[in-house]
Amino acid sequence: MQVRTRHTPSYGVARLMLAPGEPVRVESGSMLATSYGVTVESRAQGGFLKSLARSALGGESFYVSTYTAPQQGGWVDVAPTLPGDLNVLELDGRVGWCVTKGCWLASASTVQVEAQWGGFQNLFGGEGGFLTRLSGHGSAVVACYGALDVVTLQPGEYITIDTGHVVAYADTVQSQLRQMNQGVAQSLKSGEGLVFDFAGPGQVLTQTRNPRGLVGWLRANGLGPRS
């Protein structure tokens, strides 16, 4: 599979170029268009329990759609729900990636997609207790809300990032979740909740906009659900 992106960095679309008979896994609901003859099958990826973990705990769809090219090859266009940039991760079988809620878009069939425990405190931060972990070989596409920043940490280098701005990080990076301010009252005053502390070596991908901020703005202006 080869990936060609367009309309980045604001309204990214990824075209997944497939060889004859090649399958690709796509987050349910992300397909924009396909070349003629491409077939699709939606199923629980990795069995019922793993799919339930991805859906209820990881924030992804219960079903994963597998698109397969016909004998002459083909392509699939995918796009995220929110406007923003795209990034293509090239997995080499050695370094995996942890992707936060709603950011995984598509990956080659040789890439394993599963839920990974992200820390007990995360259950209280609105991000979901599980992350999506990518491993294996091949290309994977992740999406962000807003523009994408790539932070490259050297060994022993640290950074603190709000959870709502984290897109993905390499599993060579050490991470921990904590509350930015001690006590609920302080968190309400500052508008900050949970943050990730990261330690290198490795890369961390961040987004310049926070989806929680969009939800809060919609609610404040009577344009979204209040539950």
Does this model's pTM top 0.85? no
- What pLDDT, on a 0 to 100 scale, did the predictor assign at position 43? 73
Three-state DSSP at 51 gives helix
DSSP line for 102-133: T-EEEEETTEEEEEEE--GGGGGTTS-SEEEE
- What pLDDT, on a 0 to 100 scale, did the predictor assign at position 73? 98
d(CA 6, CA 14): 7
- What pLDDT, on a 0 to 100 scale, did the predictor assign at position 44? 58
- What pLDDT, on a 0 to 100 scale, did the predictor assign at position 189? 42
47 exposed, middle or buried (CB, 10 Å; 0-12, 13-18, 19+)? exposed
Q: Residue-wise pLDDT tens for the chain (227 aa)?
A: 999 999 999 999 999 999 999 999 999 899 999 999 999 998 755 544 454 454 444 444 557 899 999 999 999 999 999 999 999 999 999 999 999 988 999 999 999 998 776 554 444 334 445 688 999 999 999 999 999 999 999 999 999 999 999 999 999 999 988 887 655 444 444 445 789 999 999 999 999 999 988 988 888 898 866 55
DSSP line for 191-227: T--EEEEEESSEEEEEESS-HHHHHHHHHHTT-S---
- What pLDDT, on a 0 to 100 scale, did the predictor assign at position 3? 98
Q: Which two tokens stand for residue 151?
A: 């932070």
State residue 49 phi and psi, 5-degree precision: -65, -40
- What pLDDT, on a 0 to 100 scale, did the predictor assign at position 188? 41
First-to-last alpha carbon distance for the chain, in angstroms, is: 41
Spatial CB neighbours of 173, under 8 Å, sequence gap ≥ 6? 153, 198, 199, 200, 201, 202, 203, 204
